[in-house]
Structure 1
């Protein structure tokens, strides 16, 4: 028996809309804590800059390791109970922030937060793929990812305003109550039938090449967010923060307007074009003599970068047996965490040579994304396993 949606006809769109709202709410709660942690650790818990980094690293590692297993649970028991459990865990994490347990308590909460993130996002991914029509899977997966990005973007703004206006307790309250609201949304949605699930492999074979391409593309995002302001200031241009806004605008607009391209054209041309577009944008930023050239680079980069995730995800979905899709999607998304973690270390070291070299390196790796993604489309799908 395989997992199949209980929702048919036009209502599948209503359910997907509910999942997008759920994901947005939960990731706003996650994101609200991001700008609050550094001052909490440094000013109230007598921690160091290393401890600040550790709080973020622990959640990332927990999410990285937890996603394949979360996918298997969703495939085996149905996405709705697993996603609801993840939302409840997220609410408990929000409440745990308020417990005066010092640095050990905070670090434990961050591990649980990573697990909650893995469970919510991956269970919802399995649900979305089960509901979406075959000819619109990449588009719907793209919208789902956009909801997550929206939460990560809006959450820090909300968290900063709450902390400065009402203090830490207001942030913890939001972090605890918002996921409970998400549970209420999930409870109203018809779920998917439990089905057969494959083993919870950390690295299913159909994931390796698409995941590697995704990880390589993460270097461009890490370069932009971490070093664009410093790079433009070093070149006497300035206004680096504006480029982040331009990148974000291009990311959202292209995802919304052209989100069906992977479904219509197939993953290969989209991955190749978008990888090269990301590389071109990064190259423009690296060599920009003026602000307007750098701004064009941010727009080109954002427009290319945005469709890489859904196009590569579609490749993973097509190459994975239905019983393994939950594990495969979880493992695939983990490559993003892996890429960002590696990018943070590598770009930081390269920046010591010069900020421009960071963007040149990222441009080269974005071009490699196109090459690896193209090669991945030539690989033959594994034969279905007997059960």
Structure 2
């Protein structure tokens, strides 16, 4: 059998479970551009509350990430994925309920908030469970490939979700995207139920405190590296507006294209050169991209910087993720993956308010210099990790 055929079969097996991540993040993307307008215009609440409704989901994801990993270790990833899909579906049900009682704004807002909590838990359960499921199907040597495909599914779904949600909202109101979320949850649940479960190891698991102590350096480096993505996703539109430029959406598109292209083309480099070295080079590229945006005198240079930042950030999550999960035994890898992923959620959650405070006291472009300096801090951490005396390679059994 040729290596090409072998790779194609591996990818097919991975995609057969990563499809649940796609369903999940399409469910996340669909309401993003719709709910703030509904809360502000239809329910009559402030812009602050409109933004808070969106943020509730991120907080729920952050809090439930470690638990999703522990449950995947105990119950198996299949059950956790199915639970996650149920939660995603419930967010659709609650969105429809909120639309039906919009003449009672307080109740409608409460239902939306509860739906966002369900969606946040669904995101952490489905994504973590799908990744661990894929890792178990194809084996530990393909961990980088599984995490890379998971990221491609995530960003592709998010890129499709926001504009599709707006389109469905224009035609059918909240029920448009909510019905699609419910349909994906039902189809995904049915698909997952038909797949064979992964046998759960009966071996004793590493206590959470020990998992955290082995994973946190990689998670912290990931969280610092995430800041570059956060300031582009959150503030690039305002940056263009502050200079009377048009085309901010194209910069976001180029960021996504750089991210996906590098994931598809170079993910094998993680296995070949090691996660620490790949993430080190990746963070340096991300840093350069942010500095280009900071000093860019024209929109096309901002576009180039956004593409470079996306390309640089692309392999950071899988590269450091590979290093994190191999620090624990297989029966605790779900817990390690969930804990590690929580640092990404934390980085994204802190970026908005912290960068917003910085913008209030300095110029808009200063957030890109600040983000570059934060990414350099992650580079310094990795240089320290690369020393032979740092961080043992093998997990304690």
Q: What TM-score do the two structures reach when normalised by structure 1?
A: 0.91
How has the CA–CA distance of structure 1 residues 285 and 384 changed in structure 2, closer, same or farther, with 3 Å as cutoff?
A: closer
Mark the CA change 1:89 to 1:252 in structure 2 (over 3 Å): closer, same or farther: same
How big is the shift at 1:149?
1.6
Alignment of 1:145 onto 2:143: no
Q: CA deviation at 1:343?
A: 1.0
Q: What's the CA shift string for 1:123-179, capped at 9, x where partnerless?
A: 112112222343332122111121112222211111110001222212211121111
**Which of residues 17, 20, 23 is equivalent to 1:19?**
17
1:206–1:381 Cα contact (<8 Å) kept: no
2:141 pairs with one of 135, 139, 144: 135
Q: Distance in 1 between matches of 2:162 and 2:246?
A: 24
Alpha-carbon spacing, 1:183–1:201, altered in 2? closer, same or farther (3 Å): farther
Rate the CA distance shift 1:292–1:385 in 2: closer, same or farther, 3 A: closer
Say whether the 8 Å CA contact 1:89–1:116 is kept in structure 2. yes
Provide closer, same or farther for how the CA distance between residues 26 and 47 of structure 1 changes in structure 2, counting only shifts above 3 A: same
Query: C-alpha displacement at 1:9, in angstroms?
Result: 11
Residues 175-198 of structure 1, C-alpha deviations (whole Å, 9 max, x = no match): 211111111221232221022444
Which of the numbers 365, 368, 385 marks the counterpart of 2:377? Answer: 368
Q: CA RMSD in A?
A: 2.2
Asked if structure 1 preserves the Cα contact closer than 8 Å seen for 2:229 and 2:310, the reply is no
Counterpart pick for 2:185 among 169, 179, 183: 179
Aligned to 1:61: 59
Of 298, 301, 322, which residue of structure 1 is paired with 2:306? 298
Match of 2:77 among 79, 90, 96: 79
Which protein, 1 or 2, shows the higher relative CO under an 8 Å CA cutoff with sep ≥ 6?
A: 1
After superposition, the Cα gap between the structure-2 partners of 1:199 and 1:180, relative to the gap in structure 1 and judged at 3 Å, is farther
Q: How does 1:91-130 map to 2 (within 5 A)?
A: 91-99=89-97, 100=101, 101-130=107-136
CA distance in 1, matches of 2:350, 2:246: 27
Map 1:234-245 to 2 at 5 A: 234-235=242-243, 237-245=245-253
- C-alpha offsets along residues 2-60 of structure 1, whole Å, 9 cap, x if unaligned? xxxxxx99966443211122211222122111112112211222322221222122211
1:234: how far off?
3.4
Shift of 1:203: 6.6
Distance 2:259 2:75 in 1: 34
1:31 maps to what in 2?
A: 29
Task: Return the offset for 1:331.
Answer: 0.8
Structure 2 unmatched ranges of 5 or more: 1-5, 102-106
Larger deviation: 97-106 or 232-241? 232-241
Q: Mean alpha-carbon deviation: is it higher for 274-283 or for 350-359?
A: 350-359
Q: Is the CA contact 1:201–1:327 (under 8 Å) kept in the aligned structure 2?
A: no
Distance in 2 between residues matched to 1:297 and 1:265, nearest whole Å:
26
CA contact (8 A) 2:61 2:123 kept: yes
Instruction: Name which of 214, 233, 236 aligns with 1:228.
Output: 236
Cα distance in 2 for residues equivalent to 1:210 and 1:385? 17
> Separation in 1 of the partners of 2:337 and 2:267?
19
Q: Which moved more, 1:227-236 or 1:308-317?
A: 227-236
Name the counterpart of 1:5. Answer: none
Q: 1:337: which partner in 2? A: 345
Moved more, 337-346 or 275-284: 337-346
Q: Is residue 92–residue 179 contact of structure 2 (8 Å, CA) maintained in 1?
A: yes
Q: Is the 8 A contact 2:15 2:149 kept in 1?
A: no
1:180-199 alignment, distance < 5 Å = 180-196=186-202, 197-199=205-207
Give the direction of change, closer, same or farther, for the CA distance of 1:234–1:55 in structure 2 (3 Å limit).
Answer: closer
Match of 1:3 in 2: none
Farther-moved stretch of structure 1 (100-109 vs 268-277): 100-109
Report 1:217-366 matches (<5 A).
Answer: 217-235=225-243, 237-352=245-360, 353-366=362-375
Measure, in 2, the Cα distance between the counterparts of 1:264 and 1:255. 14
Q: Name the CA shift for 1:152/1:308 in 2 (closer, same or farther; >3 Å).
A: same
User: Which runs of no fewer than 5 residues in structure 1 stay unpaired?
Assistant: 1-7
Summarize the Cα distance change of 1:115–1:199 in structure 2 as closer, same or farther, 3 Å threshold.
farther
